[in-house]
Structure 1
Amino acid sequence: MTFTDALLSAPRPVIMEVKRQDADGTGLLGARSVTDVVAAYEEAGAPCVSVVTGRWFGGSEALLEEVAASTRLPLLRKDFLTSQRQLERSRELGASAVLLTVRLLPGGVLSRLVDHALDLGLTPFVEVADAAEATAVPRAERCVVAVNNKDIATRERLPGDLDRSSTLLPAVRATGTRCAVSASGITDPADAARLLDAGFGGLLIGTGLLRAAHPAHWCAALDAARERPRGPGRIPGQTRPARR
């Protein structure tokens, strides 16, 4: 099953992330091993796992290799990938999908990397931060298109802006992608529920799950939030209409 199919067919489409530290350098694993974290994610029903190999977050290729040895779930390699060789290496290490960041890649390079990923059997997980970037995604119908709620210009050290997801969802849908994802900065299960109910096909959550008592407890809170009736249409970060 492809990364996209696994996510879209999941009753709870949450990509659960493994990363060693947050953007400020604070450790996130504590006394747990990588295998412990992956096992907890499987127990919580993760359809896919994201593995942060970027150095900002204490990552490495060895981390991806370790996670791949611990699970058969589809894996996303999350890093600033810019070359075809990095895509080939990602597949060798066990990835099923690869992060491609529109802000970092000129149009021609992005197009070539999307094509190469598809040729390798990898799902391009293309990250956007504004509407212009969404329109630049090539072959979007074969990609996951993800809104990054954090800003790479600040090394993702500031809180996530979930309003970005609510604003960009129509533009992401207009690309023709089968799967729109809201990624990063999601910590509250109630916010996660509203994003899914608004129409996102999946969420990518790392720090919120890694800091939870147990990912299964966080997911249970998400399920409960989705079952509660809510008012129409409001997504986290949206401004309420002014009273007249």
Structure 2
Amino acid sequence: MSQPFIDALLGSGRPVIMEVKPRSADGEDLLRGRSPTEIADRYEAVGAPCLSVVTGRWFGGHLGLLAEVTGHTQLPVLQKDFLTNADQLRQASDLGAAAVLLTAALLPKVALARLAEQALALGLTPFIEVATSAEVDALPPCEGCVVAVNNKDIRTRERGDADLDRSRRLLPAVRGTGSPCPVSASGIDDPRVAARLLSAGYAGLLVGSHLLRADRLEAWCAELDEALLAAPVPRRSG
């Protein structure tokens, strides 16, 4: 059994959710001839506490990808897709996911609260994605949930540059939601930037395309570890 998604992040000295997705928003092949399980093994070898698997069609994903990865690893896995109903949550659970993406921009407040409750009842961690202060303000109580700031814009299918200042601006509001696990997601390429986000108070980061492109993943992780020694992460309790 995988340990709960939040516990895995909070218990990690390098709380980076590493992502498996077939292609970038611009259509770049990110697998580059590798199987999803090979990528999962590579992430597990460098100490990833959790994985994210993109099943959304924008990025060439599909449900078979989720089943392949969860059937291969014991790490907690997030299903990243635009989930909008209880049947999709049950399907995610049946396929071995430990967490599910709920996108605040797409879900009315009542629907988001209902889906978060249903996810928790299924043993899934709601990974609630926000991009504006209004979305944060409209969130239901978030105990037991991840609240993740997306540094990219889904309205443009996450094409273009990331706005990392968004994570810095929204952190106080996100911490006020009651979530034990604020996460900064997308567009985090530089290990020194990653360390600063963790030191500022984020409990985890989600890094996708950059790590899939990285020829020297171990070197990226080592640089992050070195940067964290210079700017330690605040201690948290789960």
Task: Give matches, 1:90-129, under 5 Å.
Answer: 90-129=92-131
Q: Which moved more, 1:17-26 or 1:218-227?
A: 218-227
* 2:115 match: secondary structure: helix
Structure 2 residue corresponding to 1:170, chosen from 169, 172, 175:
172
Task: Give matches, 1:1-244, under 5 Å.
Answer: 1-228=3-230
* Largest Rg, 1 or 2: 1
* 1:104 match: secondary structure: coil
What amino acid is aligned across from residue 3 of structure 1 in structure 2?
A: F
Show CA shifts across 1:37-69 (max 9, x none): 001000110000000000000000000001111
Contact 1:41 1:216 in 2 (8 A): no
* 1:11 match: secondary structure: coil
TM-score, normalization: structure 2? 0.94
Contact 2:195 2:231 in 1 (8 A): no
Match of 2:235 in 1: none
* 1:16 match: secondary structure: strand
Show CA shifts across 1:97-153 (max 9, x none): 000000000111111101100110100000000111112221311110000000000
Q: Report deviation, 1:31.
A: 2.2
What amino acid is aligned across from residue 40 of structure 1 in structure 2?
A: R
Give me the CA root mean square deviation.
Answer: 1.1
TM-score, normalization: structure 1? 0.92
Show CA shifts across 1:58-96 (max 9, x none): 000000001111101000000000010000000111100
Q: Report deviation, 1:34.
A: 1.1
Q: Report deviation, 1:227.
A: 2.4
Residue 229 to residue 94, structure 1, CA distance change in 2 (3 Å): closer
Contact 1:188 1:208 in 2 (8 A): no
Contact 1:100 1:110 in 2 (8 A): yes
Question: Unpaired segments of 5 or more residues in structure 2?
Answer: 233-238
Q: Report deviation, 1:176.
A: 1.1
Question: Unpaired segments of 5 or more residues in structure 1?
Answer: 231-244
Show CA shifts across 1:186-214 (max 9, x none): 01111101101111000000111111113
What amino acid is aligned across from residue 67 of structure 1 in structure 2?
A: V
Number of aligned pairs?
Answer: 230
CA distance in 1, matches of 2:230, 2:109: 43
What amino acid is aligned across from residue 113 of structure 1 in structure 2?
A: L
Q: Report deviation, 1:229.
A: 5.9
CA distance in 2, matches of 1:21, 1:32: 12
Residue identity over aligned pairs, in percent, reads 60
* 1:216 match: secondary structure: helix
